[in-house]
Amino acid sequence: MQEYTLRVCVENSGKRLDVVLTDATKEKKLGISRTFIQDLIRKGKVMVNGVKINKPHYKLKSDDEVKLIIEEKKGLSLESEDIPLEVIYEDEDLAIINKPAGMVVHPAPGNYTHTLVNALLYHFKELSDINPTRPGIVHRLDKDTSGLLVIAKNNFTHLNLAQQFSRHQVKRKYLALVKGRVEFDEQTVEIPIGRHPYRRKSMSAGFGRKMKFAKTYYRTLKRSRDFSLLELEPFTGRTHQIRVHLSALGYPILGDTKYSKQTKFSRLALHAKSIGFIHPRTKKFMEFTSKIPSEFKEFLKEKIT
C-alpha cells in the first residue's frame, strides 16, 4: 500500500478533487488515469483533512490536506514462458515486437498459456500493469495477424500511448493479399462497423442503428487478374476493421475463414507493416517498419507479377 499527501495551493482552490489528484499524480509520473482516481475516491481511499470523501466532484479549498491511498493491484497468476520474440527496438520505457501469425496476444478464458504476454513476462523485467491481466499490452493484433506491436514497460508510457491511440495519433500501415483485381489505385472506405446480428463473435459492415463509424484508407501496390496486394491505414480501431471493410468491398483477405469462404492461403494474409508514434518521454516521433513475411513474397512471385 502507498500513501500520497498533498497540500492544496491557492491556484487549485475551487477545483474538483479528481482533477487535482489526476494532475498531481501525472506530475509524479505515477501512471494513474482519472478514471482510476475516481474509482479510488468512490471506494473511500481519499481523505480531505482527515475525512473520507467519496465524491469525485468535491470542491477543494486552499490549504486543504489531501491523502491518497493506493493498494497493490492483485492480478491473475500469469506464467512466464521462454518463447522466442523478435524485438525490433527496446529502451527503458517501451519495446517494439514483431508478432508472428498464430500467436494470441494476451491470456483469456481457456487460453492462459503460450501467448505473447507469457513471452513478455519472461523477456522483460518490467511491464505496465494498468490491466494486470494484460501486462504491457497497449493495443492488440488478431491471433492470425502478424506484425508490429508496441509494448509499454511502465504505466506512464502505457497511459500516454493509449491516449495517442484514442486520439488516432498513432500511424499504422498494414499489408494484405486479397482476392480479386482491385479496381482503384487508392480509396478511403467509410462504412460503419458493428457486432454481427447473428454471429456474435463476428463483426459486420452496414448502416444500422448500432453501427459505429469506421474509416480505412488503402493503396493498391500490385494486382493481377485474380489477386491484389494492398497497403492499408486504419484511421479508427474497430474490431476486425480491415478484414470487415475489405470483405464488404468484395476483396476478402486471403486465408480469412471468418469473413470469406474461398480465400485459401497458409494463414491470414494480413501483416502490420509499420507503426509510428510520439515517444512518451522524449516527445520525438518514432516509426518502425518490418519486413514483408516470406509467405507473402512466395505468393507474389508466383501469382502477382
Q: What are phi and psi of 35, to 5 degrees?
A: -60, -40
pLDDT in tens, 173-207: 999 999 999 999 999 999 999 988 777 678 899 88
Grid cell at residue 133: 491481466
Asked if 179 and 202 sit in the same domain, the reply is yes
Domain of residue 36, residue span: 2-70
Residue 215 vs residues 22, 62, 141, 188, 277: alpha-carbon distances, Å: 32, 47, 18, 7, 19
Grid cell at residue 46: 481519499
Mean pLDDT of the residues in the chain: 91
pLDDT in tens, 71-97: 765 555 788 999 999 999 999 999 999
pTM: 0.75
Asked if 120 and 55 sit in the same domain, the reply is no
Q: What is the pLDDT of residue 110?
A: 59
Residue matched to cell numbers 527496446: 90
- For residues 105 and 151, the answer to whether their CB atoms sit within 8 Å is no
Domain boundary among 45, 70, 95: 70
Q: Would you call 142 a catalytic residue per the annotation? A: yes
CATH number at residue 33: 3.10.290.10
Q: What is the pLDDT of residue 93?
A: 98
Domain boundary among 152, 167, 182: 167
Which of 260, 250, 273 has the alpha carbon at shortest distance from 141? Answer: 273
Give how many domains the chain has, as a whole number.
3
The letter for the amino acid at 175 is: L
Q: What is the pLDDT of residue 58?
A: 94
Asked if 90 and 146 sit in the same domain, the reply is yes
Asked if 97 and 205 sit in the same domain, the reply is no
Coil, strand or helix: which one is 118?
Answer: helix
Asked if 270 and 221 sit in the same domain, the reply is yes
Q: Would you give the DSSP letter of residue 25?
A: H
Q: How far apart are CA 165 and CA 173, in angstroms?
A: 14
CATH number at residue 145: 3.30.2350.10
Asked if 121 and 199 sit in the same domain, the reply is no
Asked if 97 and 172 sit in the same domain, the reply is no
Spacing of C-alpha 155 from chain mean position: 14
Asked if 208 and 268 sit in the same domain, the reply is yes
Intervals of the chain under pLDDT 50: none
Asked if 15 and 41 sit in the same domain, the reply is yes
Q: What is the pLDDT of residue 151?
A: 98
Grid cell at residue 272: 502490420
Domain boundary among 43, 70, 97: 70
Asked if 174 and 305 sit in the same domain, the reply is yes
Which of the residues 129, 142, 144, 256 is marked catalytic? Answer: 142
- For residues 94 and 156, the answer to whether their CB atoms sit within 8 Å is no
- For residues 215 and 228, the answer to whether their CB atoms sit within 8 Å is no
Q: What is the pLDDT of residue 120?
A: 97
Asked if 58 and 173 sit in the same domain, the reply is no
Neighbours of 32 (CB within 10 A): 22
